[in-house]
């Protein structure tokens, strides 16, 4: 008669009797677990970078909308001092947008 139950074998290493494929699988799982923290850290860094870029893109969008409004405020047909001031303001604003876009490009594509 065969008795079923728990068998308690006390071995130094539980992998001693494991087939080679199970040992290899154990190593692979160990590597995956060891690298999980690094992978998650990389993902968190990537998400933080995307959030920063989203903020900068929103700022540039607002800047472009402001520039368009300034350009629309320039009346046609001759430059009065007010018109020249509007054009000068638009140029300064356009330069700021270009600088902001350059900053985003530098952040996304840092020099090697």
Predicted confidence at residue 38, as pLDDT, reads: 80
Closest CA relative to residue 98, chosen from 70, 69, 60: 60
Q: What is the pLDDT along the chain (112 residues), one digit of tens a residue?
A: 444 555 555 557 776 787 888 888 888 888 888 888 788 888 888 888 888 888 888 888 888 888 888 877 777 776 788 878 888 888 888 888 888 888 777 777 777 7
CA angle 38, 40, 41 (to 5 degrees): 65
CA angle 88, 91, 94 (to 5 degrees): 150
Predicted confidence at residue 1, as pLDDT, reads: 45
Predicted confidence at residue 7, as pLDDT, reads: 52
The greatest distance separating any two alpha carbons of the chain, rounded to the nearest whole angstrom, comes to 111
Predicted confidence at residue 8, as pLDDT, reads: 53
Its pTM surpasses 0.75: no
Radius of gyration of the chain (CA): 32
């Amino acid at each position: 008669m065969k008795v079923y139950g728990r068998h308690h074998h006390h071995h130094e290493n539980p992998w001693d009797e494991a087939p080679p494929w199970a040992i290899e699988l154990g190593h692979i799982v160990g590597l995956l677990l060891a690298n999980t923290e690094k992978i998650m850290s990389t993902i968190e860094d990537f998400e933080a970078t995307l959030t920063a870029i989203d903020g900068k893109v929103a700022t540039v969008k607002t800047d472009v909308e402001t520039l368009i409004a300034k350009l629309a405020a320039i009346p046609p047909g001759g430059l009065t001092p007010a018109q020249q001031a509007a054009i000068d303001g638009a140029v300064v604003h356009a330069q700021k947008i270009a600088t902001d876009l350059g900053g985003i490009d530098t952040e996304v594509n840092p020099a090697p």
